Amino acid sequence: MELYDAMRTAFAAREFTPDPVTDEVLTRILDNARFAPSGGNRQGGHVIVVREQSTKDALSELARPAAQRYAAQTAAGENPWNTFVPSQVTAETIAATAIPPGLTEPVRRAPVVLVVCVDLRVVASIDQHLPRVGIASGASIYPLAWNILLAARNEGLGGVLTTMPIAEEARVKALLHLPDYMAVCAVMPIGKPVKQLRKLKRRPVSAFAHRERWDGEAFGG
Ligand SMILES: Cc1cc2nc3c(=O)[nH]c(=O)nc-3n(C[C@H](O)[C@H](O)[C@H](O)COP(=O)(O)O)c2cc1C
């Protein structure tokens, strides 16, 4: 598949046919995805390949608390889980909010789920002393996660990078026997999408690229 075509059509697939994802295909996906960069080329990424239904069910359950808050904040017009604008949504409102199945069920129903983790002992967290949430650490693992999804697209498969279970990281780690120095970065259901979306809604370049500085003219207009 042509690279730009893959980049423009790798949508968030959440519904899958029952077709299996064989170990052979998965190995090919991971064997190409592994060329993703990481800080200092430390390659701290690990992938847990989950096929057991009981583990998928448990991961799906662990997505529920974060998904409930996500839905409550969305309903209140907030940007869910952001760390900058304090939430006005109360614990009571969150507890009374229905959990959208789309945020929990894909992990339960996908033929395979990949849990992407990173070894914190080798990650350069350059922004660890800044007075804001850490972002830089993710740069050593999300290129791998996205390469996996691009490679899946190239194989006629699809998936979605989900993060909800991370809010319950201690329980995810206990479930998967992850040592304390590992961080859970993504839980990715993968399978053959029921349908392939081709027109993704994304902002044009001029809406996010700026010439020279933030308040410079829009780039690429
Ligand atoms: C960092 C990150 C976290 C995400 N977390 C979730 C998630 O927990 N659950 C989910 O269903 N989708 C999740 N997504 C998928 C996004 O909702 C999806 O990529 C976005 O809406 C674009 O979808 P599209 O490619 O189909 O247009 C996440 C994506 C990213 C990049």
Residue 133 amino acid letter: V
The CA R_g of the chain, rounded to the nearest whole Å, is 18
Pocket test of ligand 1: the residue of 115, 162, 185 to mutate, having most ligand atoms within 8 Å of its CB, is 162
Contact 45, 30 (CB under 8 A): no
Q: Which residues contact 34 (CB under 8 A, 6 or more apart)?
A: 43, 144, 147
For the chain, the average pLDDT equals 97
Q: Give the pLDDT band of residue 221 (cuts 50, 70, 90).
A: confident
| For residues 145-172, average pLDDT | 98
162 lines ligand 1 (CB under 6 A): yes
The closest residue, in CA terms, to atom 13 on ligand 1 is 162
Does residue 62 register a pLDDT over 90? Answer: yes
State the average pLDDT over residues 13-18. 97
Does the beta carbon of 70 lie inside 6 Å of ligand 1?
no
For residues 78 and 88, give the distance between their C-alpha atoms in angstroms, rounded to a whole number: 8
- What three-state secondary structure class fits 113? strand
Q: Output the CA 145–ligand 1 centroid distance in Å.
A: 12
Atom 22 of ligand 1 has which residue's CA nearest to it? 12
Tokens of residue 149, six digits: 């999804």
| CA of residue 12 to ligand 1 center, whole Å | 6
Left (φ > 0), alpha (ψ -120 to 50) or beta: where does 43 sit?
left
Give residue 189 CA to ligand 1 midpoint distance, Å.
12
CB 190 within 8 A of CB 111: yes
Mutate to test the pocket of ligand 1, among 163, 185, 194 (most ligand atoms within 8 A of CB): 163
On whether the CB atoms of residues 172 and 165 are closer than 8 A, the answer is yes
User: Which CATH superfamily does the domain covering 3-63+104-208 fall into?
Assistant: NADH Oxidase (3.40.109.10)
